[in-house]
Structure 1
Amino acid sequence: MTTAVIDNSFFKEFKVLASLAWPLLIAQVTQTLMGVSDTIMAGRYNSVDMAAVAIGFGMSLPVLIFMQGITLGLSPIISRYDGAKNTADVANAVQQMLYISLGMSVFVLLLLLAIPGAVGAIDMTPELAQKTGDYLFYVLLSAPAFGIYQTLRNYCEGLSITVPTMMIMATGLLVNIPVNYIFINGLFGMPEMGGAGCGLATMLVFYTMALATFAYTFYATKLKKYKLYERFLPISKPDINYMLRLGLPIAFTLLFEVALFAVVAVMLAPLGALTVAAHQIALNVSSLIFMLPLSIGLALAIRIGFLIGEGRHNHTKKAYWAAMLLAVSMVVFTASTILLFNDQIASIYSGEKAVITAAASLLILAALFQFSDAIQVVSANALRGYKDTKAMLIISFISYWLVGFPVGVMLGLTDMLVPRMAAAGFWIGFITGLSVAAVLLFMRVKVIQKRIIDDSLVRT
């Protein structure tokens, strides 16, 4: 970053991004805390149910994250309309994305039929397989609500309206915890479901959040001018194709990263519930911390779209550097905290000494990979704001699956380079893959910034 970039407008961007990011942060943290609370509460019930939730969560997350990724293509479209003061096309964009989300939901519901076969293909005990399948069934049943919620959320966030969805998500977490407890332990006449109760609670919370977000977008005065529900527009194949061209690369990018963690959880299952539980604790903590740079990245995508809609293409560079500085500064603090208190953090999740010891060692690696993760997620979201998503997809595939995953397999499951490291070897693979992604995505952002600024100068 050159000194020319650091001026009053840079610090103004810093302030704008922070104001956009903090509600997104709370919303993302509370969404992640649902998974964290599921893991903690199932772990307090017993380690088998904790492992079932870990594996079931790992299997369902790629499906839900793919749906979320598609809808993330909506916010840069809406933010450009907002920057250009174009209210007429917003309703069509949102409704076309709703059609896409509901179509994906139908496919996910059909996956319910494949749960027994998918769970049965994993090498684990019958008890663990049954509990995993039950948890997975309820979570996948929430797909329609999840799709509607994510679409309407991106509609609001694309307009820089971030507080309402934050409040809805926070309320969802507050509901999730007591409902979890009721279904896990069988209170108030409910059957004692153990880890499967976490899945049922998640389903109920998603439907509640979808209904609440619909109510907000229907009644909010500031959204009336967009006439979202004034009439239902027909399905537009060109618009849907355009959104899919933008959203699919985002979805696959997220999927490549999330699926990497999910596959590792499955590959660790034969090593026993203790190994899976330790890995899940480290993954839960790192996922929670990841929400900090992710929220900044999401705010950056919105801000870049808005600035381009206004025609201020050159200013997007300052927004990018402000976001990068903010994200890396936060990671310095969070990584240091994990390194200092890894044992205490692990003990929050489990009372079993062996699990705490194993998880604490993985948390050290989880702290280290946050730096690369912050750089790559800010850069990836900058590309999303620029609507340059295909390169992001290619970079992610190469980094996660052609670099990170092979390194993890070699170190974790073989003696090819060093004695088998189990979960720790996979975490070193994560660090390697994310570091490669960080470098390549950063380089791509610089290329796109030059291209879009040069193009804007030509047009003027």
Structure 2
Amino acid sequence: MNLADFFTHSKSLLKLTYPILIAQLIQNLMGFVDIVMAGRVSATDLAAVAVANSIWLPLILTIYGLIMALSAIVSQLAGAKNYSKIVEQTYQTAWISLVLGLSLILLYYLLIPIVSPLVTLESNLEELMFDYLGFIVWGAPGFCLYLVLRNYSEGLSYTKPTMIISIIGLLVNIPANYIFIYGKFGMPALGGAGCGVATALVYWSMFISMLIYCFYSKVLKQANLFSAFYWPVLAEIKAILGLGIPIALSLLFEVSLFAIVAIILVPFGAQVVASHQVALNFTGLVFMVPLSIAMATTIKVGFAIGNKDFKQARDYTMYSIVLGLALACITALITVLFRTQIAGIYSTEAPVIELAASLMLLATIYQFSDTIQVVSAGALRGYKDTKSILYITFVSYWLVGLSVGLILGVTDWIVPRIGPYGFWIGFIVGLTTAAILLAWRLRIIQERIKNNTFVPEETDTLIHISSGKIDD
């Protein structure tokens, strides 16, 4: 590997990565603000927000994963300088997102009468939880449309708007929480449910801000969204869904795995669950680093593929993984050195801090495999090879990772059960499996392209090259 090339490619990647990373961290900060401000009302309000989010986040993250396909589509088309097609594909994705956003509202009002009698929470907690969901669903269409505009802009290699709009969202979130949680300026005091109103307002403010940016931005004029209007086209929507659904499901597999482990650990006691959540929350923040690199990798690889510069696509993939691993060394070192202090931020209970610190030590191991798997998946999205991500993540997370976790955590089949440690070892095994398989799949695709056998196309993941030579 040429060191000069590494620094050149890394500089280009980091230019795309840092706004995405800041935006992702701000999104997490908004959730932290909700928890803190609701918690100041009462423990019940805090619990209502936490329980409602455990329902809401998997839904909205699944939609987020589906719309992520647009950045790969746009980046390939931008590489090919097919700007009119970018506008068309963005409109088709917007129709999908609008339907999904409105469907969440409809789903809420259809299911609540059925689900509500089955819920056995204390009455105040149940009321706050359902009120929170009832408020936040009205922000779903705005958030879904914002994601479309975000991926459109990022696909064109402009990621700074994502950061700026996220800052605007945070600036709306804090005062809106204050007003609706505590009942200020003539508004009713909604308690924890007020976070739902605030978040819905954040979603719409982010969409409107992004829409204004897209309208006035000079850098986006080459693919001007307002130069034409496109009604839904079934064939185009089907193709987008074919790319997006595997991404959405693979994201759901990962999110649901960590959620189900928390449920399985409940019999081990509140302190064990709390320690697990502390370690998971911190490692989730650390994960934002390789995830942001992966998103930038999708853009770079997609653009190179659209430009038919297959060597550059391969180079960006390699340098992205190396950059990710270099940063993982730094985050792992910070985790090892300060794990006890970090756990102390979340809790004052010594047993919780001790166990969380131990779990964080295990987390330092999987940070490296996590980096390889997420950046490899980002590169595969750039190649528009998303079905393989779905199959590999399902096998790695659910069949391998969860199975190892269950065997070590709750059975005596191999060793006496080791509770949460067993599941975190399962995470390591599952993520390492995913890293190996995704990197292997990536290598296969790159070899096929190198040998003039296959090349990514706009409508299919890979099509046969009928003619032409690819420079190596």
- Out of 444, 448, 468, which is 1:459 matched to? 468
Structure 2, unmatched stretches of 5+, are 456-464
* Cα distance in structure 1, aligned partners of 2:87 and 2:265: 46
Query: Residues 365 and 119 (structure 1 numbering): CA distance in 2 closer, same or farther, change over 3 Å?
Result: farther
3-state DSSP of counterpart to 2:225: coil
How far apart are residue 235 of structure 1 and its match?
Answer: 1.0
| Greater RCO, CA 8 A, separation 6+ | 1
* CA deviation map 1:109-141 (0-9, x unaligned): 233133576577677655554444444443433
Residue in structure 2 matched with residue 446 of structure 1 by the alignment = 443
- Out of 187, 193, 196, which is 1:196 matched to? 193
> Which of 420-429 and 159-168 deviates more?
420-429
* Cα distance in structure 1, aligned partners of 2:9 and 2:423: 37
* Cα distance in structure 2, aligned partners of 1:266 and 1:145: 31
Q: Confirm or deny that 1:400 pairs with 2:392.
A: no
* CA deviation map 1:316-336 (0-9, x unaligned): 121111111111111111122
* Cα distance in structure 1, aligned partners of 2:92 and 2:162: 20
- Out of 10, 26, 31, which is 2:22 matched to? 26
Q: Confirm or deny that 1:103 pairs with 2:112.
A: no
How far apart are residue 58 of structure 1 and its match?
Answer: 2.5
* CA deviation map 1:428-452 (0-9, x unaligned): 3222211111111111111111112
Aligned positions of 1:379-398 closer than 5 A: 379-398=376-395
* Cα distance in structure 1, aligned partners of 2:232 and 2:74: 18
How far apart are residue 391 of structure 1 and its match?
Answer: 0.8
Total equivalences in the alignment:
456
Contact 1:120 1:129 in 2 (8 A): no
Query: Residues 341 and 39 (structure 1 numbering): CA distance in 2 closer, same or farther, change over 3 Å?
Result: farther
* Cα distance in structure 1, aligned partners of 2:395 and 2:149: 32
Residue identity over aligned pairs, in percent, reads 47
Structure 1, unmatched stretches of 5+, are none
* Cα distance in structure 1, aligned partners of 2:424 and 2:184: 39
How far apart are residue 32 of structure 1 and its match?
Answer: 2.2
* Cα distance in structure 1, aligned partners of 2:181 and 2:353: 23
* CA deviation map 1:389-427 (0-9, x unaligned): 111110001011111122333444445555554444433
Q: Confirm or deny that 1:208 pairs with 2:217.
A: no
* Cα distance in structure 2, aligned partners of 1:30 and 1:47: 24
- The amino acid of 1:104's aligned partner reads L
Residue in structure 2 matched with residue 15 of structure 1 by the alignment = 11
* CA deviation map 1:188-235 (0-9, x unaligned): 555554443333322221111111111111221222332312332121
- The amino acid of 2:99's aligned partner reads G
> Which of 423-432 and 368-377 deviates more?
423-432
Residue in structure 1 matched with residue 146 of structure 2 by the alignment = 149
Aligned positions of 1:306-325 closer than 5 A: 306-325=303-322
How high is the TM-score relative to the length of structure 1?
0.90
3-state DSSP of counterpart to 2:451: helix
* Cα distance in structure 2, aligned partners of 1:435 and 1:276: 24
* Cα distance in structure 1, aligned partners of 2:67 and 2:336: 35
Residue in structure 2 matched with residue 373 of structure 1 by the alignment = 370
> Which of 314-323 and 28-37 deviates more?
28-37
How far apart are residue 287 of structure 1 and its match?
Answer: 1.5
Residue in structure 2 matched with residue 67 of structure 1 by the alignment = 63
* Cα distance in structure 2, aligned partners of 1:349 and 1:21: 28
RMSD: 2.7
Aligned positions of 1:10-409 closer than 5 A: 10-43=6-39, 47-113=43-109, 114-115=111-112, 128-188=125-185, 190-268=187-265, 274-351=271-348, 355-409=352-406
3-state DSSP of counterpart to 1:222: coil
Query: Residues 129 and 236 (structure 1 numbering): CA distance in 2 closer, same or farther, change over 3 Å?
Result: same
Query: Residues 8 and 339 (structure 1 numbering): CA distance in 2 closer, same or farther, change over 3 Å?
Result: closer
How far apart are residue 66 of structure 1 and its match?
Answer: 1.1
How far apart are residue 339 of structure 1 and its match?
Answer: 2.3
* Cα distance in structure 1, aligned partners of 2:261 and 2:137: 21
* Cα distance in structure 2, aligned partners of 1:229 and 1:43: 44
Query: Residues 357 and 196 (structure 1 numbering): CA distance in 2 closer, same or farther, change over 3 Å?
Result: farther
Query: Residues 280 and 29 (structure 1 numbering): CA distance in 2 closer, same or farther, change over 3 Å?
Result: same
How far apart are residue 358 of structure 1 and its match?
Answer: 4.6
- The amino acid of 1:21's aligned partner reads T
